[in-house]
């Protein structure tokens, strides 16, 4: 790596978040600690998903697996975006077929009953996991913390789980926008203090997942999703924690293609790009003020290693060398062969190495 001023981060991932020159493009992968790894499944055989999330030693173990086994350039905390809901007063079950909120919130009374938790008191196991992971990493790669963005959290709280048409959410948004904003406000404050707690515990970057913002029309994206994610980012930036540790903030909207110009105004340092839009098109849409993270189709990991390498080359060429963090456009599919993941990492390393670096 070239000589840099001491204030500049050393790690490839953190440099790319800041749009600083890098000798090669860093790579990590959404859901890199997960079911595609036999080593993860071995841990999961001994503990439920929720036990894994709530036991720092186990969360730490599976977070480190893809770093030790495959060599990504960043680790991401093993957890689930819904882990905050019980602390807000909404019980969640995690059966294998997808999470279920036991008593979804669909009216003003339900929204009024929601509390903004103190993460250190209610979710101490997350912060302890962050500290243990940082000890386990020993500075090898940075650690990314994360949370669900307010709109996406709202869809779970209101629908009670995943949904095909988000009818309950849309009924609330359009039938009682005041109540919807009251819920989004509580979710935004929760998300902000939760991410601040992760930063204080040692996270080197944080990612806000807006997995379902892509179901909204452009004007509703601005009003119900972007507005509240911006608020989270503002709250974090204004915090004492952030003043002490000004880490990069990543915002990921799954299905971002229709909103690119608005997306650019989120206040995040890095924008996640899903696989349904070419990353050069995304770059033209958002301009040069942010780094981009993405965007190989997770399905491309089913390709032969040769064809996979061509797809990697295509993403790298379209993204360019500055301000790009290689990632999938969405979480890795559980059916993926880890050897193909390894081939992807190798391809990114080889194909993105700059001459003379």
| One of 121, 138, 139, 164 touching its own copies (CB under 8 A) | 164
Residue 174 is a binding residue for its own copies (CB under 8 A): yes
Stretch that binds its own copies, among 71-79, 128-136, 158-166, 186-194 (CB under 8 A): 158-166
Of all helices (H) and strands (E), which one includes residue 10?
Answer: none
Q: How far apart are CA 292 and CA 269, in angstroms?
A: 9
Cβ partners under 8 Å of residue 114, min gap 6: 88, 89, 90, 105, 157, 183, 186
CB nearer to its own copies: pick between 48 and 304:
304
CA atoms within 13 A on the CB side of 53: 14
217 binds its own copies (CB under 8 A): yes
Report CA torsion sign: 38, 43, 47, 49: negative
Distances (CA, A) of 9 to 22, 25, 51, 139, 201: 11, 15, 35, 12, 19
Contact between 94 and its own copies per CB under 8 A? no
| CB nearer to its own copies: pick between 206 and 279 | 279
Pick 136 or 299: Cβ nearer its own copies: 299
Contact 8, 304 (CB under 8 A): no
User: Shortest distance, CB of residue 194 to its own copies, whole angstroms?
Assistant: 25
Minimum separation from the CB atom of position 332 to its own copies (A):
10
Between 23 and 258, CB nearer to its own copies: 258
Segment near its own copies (CB under 8 A); pick from 61-69, 117-125, 162-170, 204-212: 162-170
Residue located via tokens 């709250």: 235
| Residue 100 interacts with its own copies (CB under 8 A): yes or no | no
What are the residue numbers of the active site? 31, 35, 44, 80, 156
Tokens of 128: 């302890």
- Least distance (Å) between residue 49 CB and its own copies: 16
Which residues make beta-bridge pairs with 115?
none
Minimum CB–partner distance for residue 147 and its own copies (Å): 21
Closest CB to its own copies among 137 and 300? 300
Using CB under 8 A, which residues numbered 304 to 343 contact its own copies? 307, 329-330, 333-335
Whether the ω angle into residue 295 lies within 30 degrees of 0, i.e. cis, is yes
Which of the stretches 139-147, 159-167, 183-191, 195-203 binds its own copies when contact is defined by CB under 8 A?
A: 159-167
Please say which residue, 106 or 324, places its beta carbon nearer to its own copies.
Answer: 106
The CA-CA-CA angle for residues 221, 223, 226, to 5°, reads 60
- Which of residues 214, 248, 272, 323 is near its own copies by CB under 8 A? 214
Decide if residue 220 touches its own copies (CB under 8 A).
yes
CA distances from 298 to 41, 229, 235, 335 (A): 20, 25, 33, 10
- Residue 283 token pair: 């770059």
Task: Say whether residue 257 binds its own copies (CB under 8 A).
Answer: yes
Copy the structure tokens of residue 304. Answer: 């032969």
Q: Which residues contribute to the site for its own copies (CB under 8 A)? A: 98, 162, 164-167, 170-171, 173-175, 214-218, 220, 255, 257-258, 275-278, 281, 297-303, 307, 329-330, 333-335
């Amino acid at each position: 790596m070239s000589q840099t001023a001491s204030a500049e981060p050393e790690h490839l991932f953190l440099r790319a978040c800041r749009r600083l020159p890098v000798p090669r493009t860093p790579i990590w992968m959404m859901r890199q600690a997960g079911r595609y790894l036999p080593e993860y499944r071995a841990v999961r055989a001994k503990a439920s998903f929720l036990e894994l999330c709530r036991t720092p030693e186990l969360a730490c173990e599976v977070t480190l697996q893809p770093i030790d086994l495959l060599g990504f350039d960043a680790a991401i905390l093993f957890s689930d975006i819904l882990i905050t809901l019980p602390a807000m007063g909404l019980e969640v079950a995690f059966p294998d077929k997808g999470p279920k909120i036991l008593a979804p919130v669909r009216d003003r009374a339900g929204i009024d009953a929601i509390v903004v938790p103190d993460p250190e008191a209610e979710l101490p196991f997350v912060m302890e996991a962050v500290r243990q992971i940082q000890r386990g990493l020993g500075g090898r790669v940075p650690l990314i913390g994360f949370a669900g963005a307010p709109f996406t959290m709202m869809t779970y709280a209101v629908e009670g789980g995943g949904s095909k048409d988000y009818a309950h959410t849309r009924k609330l948004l359009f039938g009682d926008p005041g109540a919807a904003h009251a819920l989004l406000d509580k979710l935004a404050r929760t998300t902000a203090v939760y991410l601040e707690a992760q930063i204080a515990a040692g996270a080197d970057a944080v990612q806000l997942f807006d997995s379902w913002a892509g179901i909204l029309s452009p004007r509703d994206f601005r009003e119900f999703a972007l507005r509240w994610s911006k608020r989270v980012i503002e709250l974090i930036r204004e915090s004492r924690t952030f003043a002490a540790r000004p880490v990069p903030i990543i915002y990921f909207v799954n299905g971002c293609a229709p909103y690119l110009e608005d997306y650019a105004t989120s206040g995040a340092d890095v924008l996640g790009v899903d696989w349904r839009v070419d990353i050069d098109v995304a770059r033209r849409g958002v301009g040069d003020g942010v780094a981009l993270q993405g965007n190989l189709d997770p399905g491309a990991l089913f390709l032969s290693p040769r064809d996979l390498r061509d797809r990697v080359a295509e993403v790298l060429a379209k993204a360019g060398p500055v301000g790009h963090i290689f990632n999938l456009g969405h979480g890795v599919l559980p059916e993926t062969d880890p050897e193909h993941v390894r081939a992807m990492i190798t391809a990114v390393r080889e194909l993105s190495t700059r001459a003379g670096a």
